[in-house]
Amino acid sequence: MPMQERYEPKNFEAKWQKRWAQAGVFLAGRRPAAPAKYILEMLPYPSGQMHMGHVRNYLIGDVYARYYWMRGFDVIHPMGWDAFGLPAENAAIKDGVHPAVRTRENIASFKSTFLSLGFSYDWTREIATCDPEYYRWNQWFFLKLLERELVYRRFSKVNWCTSCLTVIANEQVKDGACERCGSPVIEKQMPEWAFRITRYSDQLLEGLDQLTQWPDRITTMQRNWIGRSEGVEAEFAVKGGSDSVRVFTTRIDTVFGCTAVVLAPDHKLVQKITTPAQRAEVESFAARTGALHGVERVADAAQKLGVFTGAYAINPLSRHQIPIWIANFVLAEYGTGAVMSVPAHDERDFEFARKYRLPIKVVVQPKTGERLPPGSELTAAFTEDGVLTDSGEFSGLESPEARRRMTAVLERQGRGKRTVTYRQKDWGFSRQRYWGTPIPIVYCEKCDPNRNGIPVPEDQLPVLLPDIDVHAVLTGKGEPPLAKVSSFVNTTCPRCGGPARREVETMDTFVDSAWYYARYLSPHYELAPFDPALARRWLPVDIYIGGPEHAVMHLLYFRFWSRVMKEMGLTPADEPVERLVTQGIVNGPDGRKMSKRWGNVIAPSPLVERYGADTARTYVLFAGPPERDIDWSDDQVEGANRFLKRVWALAAQYQPIVARAKPMETSEPKALRIRRAAHKSLKRVGEAIERLSFNTAIAAVMEFVNALYLVERVETDAERATMAEAIHLLTLVLNPFAPHLSEEISEAYGHQTLVADQRWPDYDPALVADDVLPYAVQINGKLRSEIRIAADSGENEVRAAAEADDKVRLSLAGKSVKKVVFVPKRLINFVVS
């Protein structure tokens, strides 16, 4: 049947989605002998409306998965739902819809969007974390981690959102307000459950060195988050008493320049040592800063404020007497809650000393031989290592050697010890919420008078989240919701059989997402969270795609969990993921982040409705490299659509002439030209996909199509045969990006096998030998770099290659390209503003 003249994706996109599902081409495990590839996108929290920024994330995985299926791999590319969580519960408080109902609706809506975009998920592995079949294993892990003493109960200061009425994580506090609702956050003392993630701080830190395929900025953020520092805890005796202040410092070599000891306002010694003359001032200062929340106080400490206590300390090495202050930038909960202030060699201390006219004393000189002026004339702190001066017996030593000797002296005298500190804290994970995994603990007054909690035996799992009367339970006020459900709360003690009460808090949803990737391997497995044999085949995940905003919470928690699972013998690898891709944002057409507030959200459905899924896919993938932000452009959507129309027209034009052509060997020049173009595209598209440079890959497909358009007439059998082969290869290289169009053309050309199930052939090396040319890359007319690229590359390919160049990439970051000037075989110039 001849192809229609017009490209009408509506006529066939749904058909192919159905055929892929019927044929089971994306079912993981169907090629047991083939190498395995695990491709994963962060599981979505299904809420509200999906926009094209989300779609971009899933598309990256989809292209990659489709490509590796065609390369003959056995691929697992699953999808599921991070289904517990706050928004559904908060919405229920507002409008009374049960969180389960709302969540199911949202899941259905997300799923239908995913299906309409032609994503290659193995839907037989779909999970939702709110299913008892899933969260049962959260509870199982809780018990196992409890056995390993990785779970414990503690009293601690927690962040309490005054509007959400729940505990929230440090990371969710922004400038003293709740990240979700903007209400003020206060500190409260509360019992909570915590994971002892700090036992793994060193491992998590060392593990970062293995993660060579993670973006540097993510590993750097994790390193800073863990915040390991080696130093000394030194004791400064308080003058005229038996007390001493312990300070932690990584720069003990500067101790002779210490001109004050500074305590947190709520340090336990403050009350005791403050002199009567200073008391009023100290108390009013402590009251003011103490009221500020920890995170907020640090943010606020841009303005460094302090007050003198009237007391003095003795420097343990110089034996000098120095004043003791309190200040807003020192936190009781970090380190020892006290620091030594060395203004000449620390920027913060320098600023503080200038403000309060504390002495500034230079004790380290640059190694360059350059001399710093006296402290009183110093214009900035000198913070590097150097050579000690005015430091008694240590003068003349270089900083590292001085640190070693000073530490040894302090240890010998019992005035200090070598210490490693971490910024990372244990992970408090209990939440006063309904819509989450119940914590499998009961409290029995008889067996457990101290309320440490008695674990629910494993064979009684899952502890089911009870159904509730939404209006009565989710009031958003007072005690935790589950405390109001007496049928849940009242239970029997597993030890004595007497009456007991259940824990009414639920787990942080980051527990759900800490291990879900392993559940996909055997989503209905009943003997363990997942089948360890399958874990050996599929783990670690080869590529993981998601937003950079998860750099320190989710991505640290699941690295922690992975290590624990390995110790339990469940998984083969320390690290959960080999390669991490953090995709850039899709901004609205106005250049602002898509948001309801700006009214600039582009949703996938109207776009699919108007242009078809393949246009939406091609546009997003072509708009820029995955990690770069892009601004939405309707013109470029039109451009992507024009390109697909062009592909359709080409296929339609040749279909009657070449569709039934028999393959044949040939050395006719025109036929060879066609074959060259085809094999070059096989090579370039494949290589570009492997480096996730999808814009380059699509550019190469465009060049290929251009080359086929340049063929003027197809007459001989050999020409017909090579054109048929070329169009066949075109359907292959097009498939990862525009899979529906690719299938439709392939079918019109008489192929019986789905393109999705065909092999991506190896290119013929003899046909792809390229002349390579240097191209100058300019930005606003100035030379920035030079790239080498195949001589017959067109503008799109040169542009994509130039944008991938490191120097150019950095120069273009954060700028918007207004125009591109392309001079074939010579240069490309980006005009930016």
**Piece in contact with Zn ion (CB under 5 A), picked from 493-501, 568-576, 642-650, 664-672:** 493-501
E strand spans, 26-126: 36-41, 74-76, 80-81
Which window, 133-141, 142-150, 486-494, 633-641, contacts Zn ion (CB under 5 A)? Answer: 486-494
Cα separation, 503 vs 441, in Å, equals 5
Give phi and psi for 219, each to the nearest 5: -65, -35
**Least CB distance from residue 161 to Zn ion, whole Å?**
3
Q: Which of 40, 75, 130, 178 binds Zn ion (CB under 5 A)?
A: 178
- In this complex, which beta carbon is closest to Zn ion, that of residue 176 or of residue 227? 176
Smaller CB distance to Zn ion: residue 47 or 341?
47
Size of the site for Zn ion (CB under 5 A): 13
305 binds Zn ion (CB under 5 A): no
One-letter identity of residue 446: K
Which two structure tokens, joined as six digits, stand for 74?
A: 């056995």
Structure tokens at 697: 């890959």
Q: Which is nearer to Zn ion, 162 or 321 (CB)?
A: 162
181 forms part of the interface with Zn ion (CB under 5 A): yes
> Token pair 């062009």 is at which residue?
646
Per CB under 5 A, does 779 bind Zn ion? no
Shortest Å, Cβ 337 to Zn ion: 28
Distant-in-sequence, close-in-space partners of 564: CB < 8 Å, separation ≥ 6: 145, 148, 150, 200
Query: Any contact of residue 185 with Zn ion (CB under 5 A)?
Result: no
Q: Which of 161, 264, 364, 473 binds Zn ion (CB under 5 A)?
A: 161
**Segment contacting Zn ion (CB under 5 A): 183-191, 331-339, 395-403, 576-584?**
183-191
Is position 444 an interface residue for Zn ion (rule: CB under 5 A)?
yes
Tell me the window of 73-81, 174-182, 645-653, 738-746 that interacts with Zn ion (CB under 5 A).
174-182
In the complex with Zn ion, the residue whose CB is nearer, 156 or 163, is 163
CA distance 790 to 128: 48
Minimum distance between the CB of residue 169 and Zn ion, rounded to whole angstroms?
A: 12
In 110-174, DSSP assigns E strands to 127-128, 151-161, 166-168, 173-174
Measured from the CB atom, is 181 or 237 closer to Zn ion? 181
Residue from 30, 21, 62, 9 nearest 543 by CA: 62
Return the number of other C-beta atoms located less than 10 Å from residue 727's C-beta.
Answer: 24
- 174 versus 646: smaller Cβ distance to Zn ion: 174
CB of 181 to Zn ion, least distance (A): 3
Closest to 582 (Cα-Cα) out of 557, 547, 554, 558: 547
Closest approach of Zn ion to the CB of residue 168, in Å: 7
d(CA 763, CA 363): 67
**8-16, 142-150, 492-500, 725-733 -> range binding Zn ion (CB under 5 A):** 492-500
Task: Decide if residue 451 touches Zn ion (CB under 5 A).
Answer: no
Stretch that binds Zn ion, among 156-164, 235-243, 434-442, 744-752 (CB under 5 A): 156-164
Cα angle value 773/774/780 (rounded, 5°): 135
Question: Residue 170 Cβ, how far from Zn ion at the closest point, in Å?
Answer: 14
Rounded to whole angstroms, how far apart are CA atoms 354 and 180? 39
The residue range among 33-41, 154-162, 373-381, 388-396 that interacts with Zn ion, by the rule CB under 5 A, is 154-162
Residues within window 42-101 making contact with Zn ion, judged by CB under 5 A: none
CB of 678 to Zn ion, least distance (A): 58
Residue 173 interacting with Zn ion (CB under 5 A): no
Check the CA dihedral 699-700-703-704 and report its sign. Answer: negative
User: Which residue type does 774 have?
Assistant: P
Burial of 432 (0-12, 13-18, 19+ CB in 10 A): buried
Judged by CB under 5 A, the stretch of 175-183, 383-391, 552-560, 625-633 that binds Zn ion is: 175-183
User: Binding segment for Zn ion among 439-447, 511-519, 600-608, 616-624 (CB under 5 A)?
Assistant: 439-447
Query: Which lies closer to Zn ion via its Cβ, residue 366 or residue 478?
Result: 478
Nearer to Zn ion, 90 or 587 (CB): 90
330: left (phi over 0), alpha (psi -120 to 50) or beta: beta
Our CB check for Zn ion shows the closer of 210 and 475 to be 475
Please give, one letter per residue, the 3-state secondary structure of 387-406: EECCCHHHCCCEHHHHHHHH
Cα 270 to Cα 307, 324, 466, 480: the distances in Å are 11, 9, 49, 37
Q: Which residues pair with 312 in a beta bridge?
A: 323
Spatial separation of the C-alpha atoms in residues 495 and 782, rounded to whole Å: 78
Binding window for Zn ion (CB under 5 A); candidates: 157-165, 279-287, 292-300, 547-555: 157-165
**C-alpha to C-alpha distance for 315 and 823, rounded to whole angstroms:** 70
**Does 186 engage in binding with Zn ion (CB under 5 A)?**
no
Choice from 279, 446, 610, 815 touching Zn ion (CB under 5 A): 446
Task: Supply the minimum distance, in Å, between the C-beta of residue 492 and Zn ion.
Answer: 8
Cβ at position 96, least distance to Zn ion in Å: 20
C-beta of 551: minimal distance to Zn ion in Å? 22
164 is an interface residue for Zn ion by CB under 5 A: yes
Cβ count near 533 (within 10 Å): 9
Q: Which is nearer to Zn ion, 457 or 774 (CB)?
A: 457
For the CB of residue 494, give the shortest distance to Zn ion in the complex, in Å: 8
Nearest CB to Zn ion, comparing residues 178 and 741: 178
Among 34, 115, 447, 652, the residue binding Zn ion under the rule CB under 5 A is: 447
Output 375 or 480, the one with its CB closest to Zn ion. 480
- 811 CB neighbour count, 10 Å cutoff: 18
- Residue 493, interface with Zn ion (CB under 5 A)? yes
d(CA 553, CA 570): 23
Q: How far is the CB of 164 from Zn ion (least distance, A)?
A: 3
Q: How far is CA 779 from the centre of its chain?
A: 31
Q: Which of residues 349-378 bind Zn ion (CB under 5 A)?
A: none
Residue number, 268 or 451, with CB nearest to Zn ion: 451
Burial letters 644-676, b for 16+ CB under 10 A, else e: bebbbbbbbebbeebbebeeeebeeebbeebbb
Per the CB < 8 A criterion, the answer to whether 743 and 755 are in contact is yes
H-assigned helices in 715-825 = 717-734, 739-748, 765-768, 795-804, 806-812
Q: What is the signed CA dihedral for 612, 615, 620, 623, rounded to 10 degrees?
A: -160
Give the HSE-up count for residue 359: Cα atoms under 13 Å, Cβ half-sphere: 14
CA distance 488 to 3: 63
- Least separation in angstroms between residue 580's CB and Zn ion is 30
* Residue 495 touches Zn ion, criterion: CB under 5 A: yes
The residue (of 86 and 661) whose beta carbon lies closer to Zn ion is 86
Is the CB of 182 or the CB of 750 nearer to Zn ion?
182
Stretch that binds Zn ion, among 17-25, 164-172, 262-270, 423-431 (CB under 5 A): 164-172
Question: Which residues contact Zn ion by CB under 5 A?
Answer: 161, 163-164, 178, 180-181, 183, 444, 446-447, 493, 495-496
